[in-house]
Chain A
Amino acid sequence: MSAEKLELTERLELIAKMMAEGRRSTRQWGWTFVLWGVAYLVATAWSTWGRSAWAWPVTMVAAAVLSGVIATRITRGHPKTIFGRAIGPVWIAMGSALMIVLICLAVSGRYNANVFVAIIGTMVGTAHATSAMILKWKAQFLCAAVWIAAAVAACFGSEKVAGIAFLGATFLGQIVFGIYAMIIESREQRRQGAANA
């Protein structure tokens, strides 16, 4: 390749790299997946062994408040990206709708493990799928598939199957995926630090 073409190719690569910053910024949110995954597990354990109707509403409200506080601190000084503006509302709308429905299920006493897992699986799976399509991120597509598979399993399986599907989806689709996103982000940060040095 001639020196001129090489230089032009470098320019194109520079544009792609800088534009990818917007996509990268969304990976800063890996911690939220881990936090909500842990919150699901805490609420499940509390409702199973503590047998409290308030286990889910209390845990979810606590997780929402904690997410808000941490997010405010993390995003200080960071610009709003176009990707973030597209994806953020999807998760906020999903979370709000899910919280209202789950609180209603808990308060009305019409709690049914299969319906519960089917609702969570569908909504979280849809949010993951939307994010994955916007970001063109294969790992998040897998998360969406895991959550939707859990919802389908809850539709056809027994209560025990629904419970196992939910725990599996929480572990893989929230905790493992969140840790993976955090690892990628910290690797990118190190790479950028080395490039800027």
Chain B
Amino acid sequence: MPEMPELNPVIHGKLRLALLSLLSGVDEAEFTWLRERTGSTDGNLGAQLMKLEEAGYVAMKKRFVLRKPQTLYRMTEKGRAALTEYVSALKELLGNAVISG
């Protein structure tokens, strides 16, 4: 029997998966934009982003625009590779029948 792939637990969390998927399509995104798109609370969003940052999947930078602080996140190469791997594993687990359906 072929070995089933394992899903990366860091990415598997719904909010973390949503965040990585969102960041995969943009150069970098503000914290407020991510909160708006995911409908998450500040605390939860911050905690999940920190987990992704600790795993090296996202990078954070702070800057000031018109004296207002801005927190920006971008996906790292490691994060992109992890998401690609996760999607492949997910597809493999689900099987071609479900994917094409």
Contact = CB atoms under 8 A, between A and B. Distances in A.
Interface of A: 1, 5, 8-9, 11-12, 14-15, 17-19, 21-22, 77-83, 85, 192, 195-197
A81 B17 contact: no
A18 B22 contact: yes
A8 B93 contact: yes
A21 B36 CA distance: 12
A196 to B, nearest CB: 3
B85 to A, nearest CB: 13
Given A18-B17, A79-B29, A197-B39, 17 more contacts: A1-B98, A8-B90, A12-B87, A12-B90, A14-B14, A18-B22, A21-B37, A77-B33, A79-B26, A79-B27, A80-B28, A81-B25, A81-B27, A82-B26, A82-B27, A196-B36, A196-B38
Interface string B1-36: 000000000001010011001101111111011001
A85 B33 CA distance: 18
Given A8-B90, A8-B93, A79-B33, A196 B25 contact: no
Given A79-B28, A82-B25, A15 B17 contact: yes
Contacts of A85: 27
Contacts of B21: 14-15, 17-19
Interface string B77-100: 000000100010011011000110
A81 B93 CA distance: 30
23 contacts: A5-B98, A9-B98, A11-B12, A12-B87, A12-B99, A14-B14, A15-B17, A15-B87, A18-B17, A18-B22, A18-B25, A18-B37, A19-B21, A19-B22, A19-B25, A22-B26, A77-B32, A79-B26, A81-B25, A81-B26, A82-B27, A83-B25, A192-B37
Contacts of B25: 18-19, 21-22, 81-83
**What is the predominant secondary structure among interface residues of chain A facing chain B?**
helix
Nearest to A82: B25
Interface residues of B, number: 27
Contacts of B37: 18, 21, 192
A196 B17 CA distance: 16
Contact of A78 (B18, B33, B87, B94): B33
A11 B83 CA distance: 12
A5 B87 CA distance: 14
B91 A12 contact: yes
A14 B26 contact: no
A18 B26 contact: no
A165 to B, nearest CB: 37
A59 B54 CA distance: 53
